[in-house]
Amino acid sequence: MIRVAACQYAIELHETWDAYAGHLQALCAEAVDAGARLLLLPEYAGLVLSGQLSARQRGDLGTSIAAMGPLIEPWKALCAGIAKRWNVYLQPGTLPVLDDDGLYRNRAWLFGPQGCLGYQDKLMMTRFEREQWGIAAGQGLQVFDTELGRLGILVCYDNEFPLLARRLAEQGADLILAPSCTDTEAGYHRVRIGAQARALENQIAVLQSPTVGRAPWSPALDENIGRAGLFVPPDHGMPGDGVMALSEGLDPVGSQWLVCDLDLEEVRRVRREGQVFTWRDWPEQFERML
């Protein structure tokens, strides 16, 4: 049994490093105090760093991500310190990173008690990322071995593409982390429905963390809506609708954590002994189409 925490994360303006660092440490301390060993923040949560830029810089899409560059390594060190200090695994959301090929990619690092375990880039770009922002697709899928279990990360829109989750499941992932950032209720539900479908198809668990609130100072994070959730395959011993837990309301005031217990051995049991074997039977669909 592991206790997980997914943040329904309110985008707020922190205009100094100390203000931001204090905010992130206090937020994570809340989840730790509730007993969580795995903490998940949403897609583009790292963009809150842009609040430390001038109003002109943070108000421009391209300028804001370029000017944030010098803050990324201190941010990673802060996240690593939080994970080590409280002996937790922390996926602190994502932010755009400039790669050696001159392209920005939306990157999600995973930190553990021993340091940085690696990262997963977003693979499928939304229209906004492709057409307006110039964020490029990543390549490849990673599975992270932790003392809690084998974890994968699918960033927001990636959860709407079945073969990505299937590859993670084939690589042994029991739990997919789904950091998300959506500006409409429809967008939130697309990611949530995708996450639930991936849990059903692969008989695994999916944990979603969304951004919420309004940030008129950031053209990338101006409007945000969503609920944190933990989704599992609907089967014997699991909730009939596959929803293990949901945070309250789509647009709360301030950040809040969804903290819940997850028994990954029970998830594995469903894969072995469930009413249906969607995980096992997956390859048959391709044979039947011929």
Look at residue 44 and tell me whether its pLDDT is greater than 80.
Answer: yes
pLDDT in tens, 10-34: 999 999 999 999 999 999 999 999 9
- Which CATH number belongs to the domain containing residue 139 in this structure? 3.60.110.10
Angstrom distance (rounded) from CA 21 to CA 18: 5
The whole model's pTM is what? 0.95
> Could you tell me the maximum CA-CA distance found in the chain, to the nearest angstrom?
60
**In sequence order, which residues have a C-beta less than 8 Å from that of residue 199 and are 6 or more positions away?**
176, 205, 206, 231, 232, 233, 242
pLDDT in tens, 69-120: 999 999 999 999 999 999 999 999 999 999 999 999 999 999 999 999 999 9
CA angle 88, 90, 96 (to 5 degrees): 165
pLDDT in tens, 248-274: 887 777 899 999 999 999 999 999 999
For residue 72, the 8-state DSSP code is H
Domain that holds residue 95: 2-288
- In angstroms, the first-to-last Cα distance of the chain is 42
User: Residues 124, 137: contact at Cβ < 8 Å?
Assistant: yes
Q: What is the predicted pLDDT for the residue at 204?
A: 97
Strand segments (E) across the chain? 2-10, 38-41, 89-92, 94-98, 104-112, 115-121, 135-136, 143-146, 149-153, 175-180, 205-214, 223-224, 229-231, 243-246, 256-262
Domains in the chain, number: 1
